[in-house]
């Protein structure tokens, strides 16, 4: 397993252009401490580069996210569950994004590892991810990704494809800051135009 924690804000890196400056994003969005967990047997053994985890790191700027922890773990249900529990219960991260292990293969264990650690699911996020991904790749409907809440943290399973990770972060970006504010108790009322 590979792990790194970040105490200071993490730059966006990569070749993805900013739509707005980082300063503007910081003004518009609340602080969101993010953990990224790549779930892959081969990446955990160091046999392949973690491109999907890097794609997520490179796109945290889309919602003002700050990388606080990054880890690669194998497709082992108990290890995945314990990692998620650690990131929420011990590190108190606002948002945990996993990548990989959401397909139909017998080794794809991420949803089975995620659901038991959740207090409740947020099915609309998983539905939105599948619907948007399916516009380009109809097989996205085979994804078993879940999203939900543990304590005051949001956990979201993303696919293992770097391109799909970028697309899904774009879809979730407008929703994540508001979701985090609700979980923190900072937002108690919705505007009349809000449907939630």
DSSP 144-186: ---EEEETTEEEEEE-S-HHHHHHHHHHHTTTHHHHHHHHHTS
Strands (E) located in the chain = 2-5, 32-39, 65-73, 95-99, 120-121, 147-150, 153-158
| Mean pLDDT of all residues belonging to the chain | 87
Give the integer Cα–Cα distance in Å for 34 and 70.
Answer: 9
Within 10 A of 54 (CB to CB), how many other CB atoms are there? Answer: 18
116 alpha-carbon distance from chain centroid: 17
Q: What is the mean pLDDT of residues 83-93?
A: 98
What percentage of the chain exceeds 90 in pLDDT? Answer: 78
Q: What is the mean pLDDT of residues 31-55?
A: 97
Is the model's pLDDT at 19 over the cut of 60? no
* pLDDT value of residue 99: 98
Is the model's pLDDT at 1 over the cut of 90? no
Is the model's pLDDT at 13 over the cut of 60? no
Q: Is 118:150 a contact under the CB 8 Å cutoff?
A: yes
Q: What is the maximal distance between C-alpha atoms in the chain?
A: 51
Give the integer Cα–Cα distance in Å for 19 and 59.
Answer: 11
Q: What is the mean pLDDT of residues 57-63?
A: 97
Is the model's pLDDT at 58 over the cut of 80? yes
Give the integer Cα–Cα distance in Å for 31 and 180.
Answer: 9
Is the model's pLDDT at 104 over the cut of 80? yes
Q: How far apart are the first and last CA of the chain?
A: 38
* pLDDT value of residue 103: 94
- The CATH architecture one would assign to domain 2-184 is 3-Layer(aba) Sandwich (3.40)
* pLDDT value of residue 59: 97
Q: What is the mean pLDDT of residues 126-140?
A: 93
Those residues whose C-beta lies under 8 Å from the C-beta of residue 124, and which sit 6 or more positions away, are: none
Q: Would you kindly state where each structural domain of the chain is located, as residue ranges?
A: 2-184
* pLDDT value of residue 47: 96
Is the model's pLDDT at 25 over the cut of 70? no
* pLDDT value of residue 187: 80
* pLDDT value of residue 176: 96
């Amino acid at each position: 397993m590979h792990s790194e924690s970040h105490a200071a804000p993490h730059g966006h890196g990569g070749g993805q252009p900013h739509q707005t400056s980082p300063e503007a994003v910081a003004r518009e969005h609340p602080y969101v401490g993010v953990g990224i967990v790549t779930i892959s047997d081969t990446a955990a053994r160091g046999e392949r580069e973690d491109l999907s985890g890097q794609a997520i790191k490179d796109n945290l700027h889309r919602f003002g996210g700050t990388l606080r922890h990054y880890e690669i773990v194998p497709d082992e249900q108990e290890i995945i569950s314990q990692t998620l529990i650690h990131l929420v219960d011990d590190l108190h991260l606002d948002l945990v994004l996993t990548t990989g292990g959401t397909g139909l293969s017998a080794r794809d264990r991420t949803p089975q590892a995620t659901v038991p650690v959740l207090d409740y699911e947020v099915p609309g996020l998983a539905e939105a991810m599948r619907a948007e991904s399916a516009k380009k790749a109809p097989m996205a409907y085979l994804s078993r990704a879940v999203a939900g809440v543990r304590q005051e943290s949001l956990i979201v399973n993303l696919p293992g494809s770097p391109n799909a990770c970028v697309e899904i972060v774009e879809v979730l970006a407008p929703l994540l800051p508001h979701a985090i504010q609700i979980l923190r108790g900072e937002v108690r009322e919705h505007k009349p135009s809000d449907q939630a």
